[in-house]
Structure 1
Amino acid sequence: MSTLSVVEDQPLDQRAEGYTQLYDALRTQLEGGDLPSRELKN
């Protein structure tokens, strides 16, 4: 069962928190959260 399916099966108040956690995980992955951050030098 996918994470999204698990979230969608939750009661409404828990579903909102589940979507937030899913969004944060996807954003971190897409933004390269597994790569070391690069510091900008001026």
Structure 2
Amino acid sequence: DVTFQVDSGNRTILMRSASRIGYWDLGVNRRRLEAIRAAFDSKCR
């Protein structure tokens, strides 16, 4: 699951990605969020 929370007062977006099954994802969730962040940054510049 991926969730986003926008905090316009601080101009930040909080992102969370978690596995539905199991405890370890071998870094997949982190890479997913980093790819989303990079795509967002490239569109906003």
TM-score (norm 1): 0.46
Larger relative strand fraction = 2
Kindly name which structure, 1 or 2, has the bigger radius of gyration based on alpha carbons. Answer: 1
Larger relative helix fraction = 1
